Amino acid sequence: MTRLAMPSRGLVAGLIKFGILFAIILLGNLLTRGVVEGLDLSIRPGTEPMLHRVIMTAMIAYILLMAIPFVPGVEIGLAVMMILGPKIVPLVYCCTLLALCLAFAIGRLIPEATLIRFLRELRLVRAAAFLESFQGLNGRQRMECLTAKSPKRWVPWLLRHRHLALMLAINMPGNMIMGGGGGLALMAGMSRLFSAPHYLMLVAVAISPIPIFLMIFGNSVADWPV
């Protein structure tokens, strides 16, 4: 009678970590939906103090949820702007910038060795080896190594114009399949290809079109027929 092979301890640990990440993403999606539904409040003089607390709580939740990959936290910001109009746009803009900077910082702080070990635990040996080849390299060396290993078509162009590519990706409809704003920011930080000042300026510009539009045309948009 053949004995079934038991999964290794490393694989079990990797699956547990993956399950925790999946649970965080799922919980983040549920919380986002709950916050958006909780913003459905009628604005009256008597409800202003409660509305203020709700908005502040929503903004804190927005920053945290927006920073989580594959969580559509941006829906909270859009809902707040649509409910309260242009006057709340600067606050939402600042919270969005803070959320994407938070995700970027987390990406920069994740030790590469930890990520490589996690990939090896999941038996993603090629991905782990690929990341291992970049350990100890600075930004320019990483660029040269990535360009050498990439297909000689559009990938090197994207690497050279990575700031523009990231700006377009942040604003691209359906970018949730790439992790959404939080996921893109996290990957940008993990890549070590973006300096913190350049990233800050990049994101500040990338997230500005909708706030600028709402600041200029916000009152007119509220009167549009649904």
What residue type is 34 in one-letter code? G
- Report yes or no on 3 lying in a domain: no
- Report yes or no on 2 lying in a domain: no
> For residue 104, which of 198, 219, 217, 7 has the smallest C-alpha distance?
198
- Report yes or no on 24 lying in a domain: yes
For residue range 90-120, list pLDDT tens digits in order: 999 999 999 999 999 999 998 888 888 888 8
Task: Please count the structural domains in the chain.
Answer: 1
Distance CA 78, CA 80 (A): 6
- Report yes or no on 4 lying in a domain: no
**Is the pLDDT score of 172 beyond 50?**
yes
Distance CA 134, CA 143 (A): 10
- Report yes or no on 94 lying in a domain: yes
Q: Say if residue 156 is exposed, middle or buried (CB neighbours under 10 Å; 0-12, 13-18, 19+).
A: middle
pTM of the model: 0.83
User: What is the crossing angle of helices 9-38 and 112-121, to 10°?
Assistant: 110
Higher pLDDT residue, 80 or 156?
Answer: 80
Range of the domain at 25: 9-222
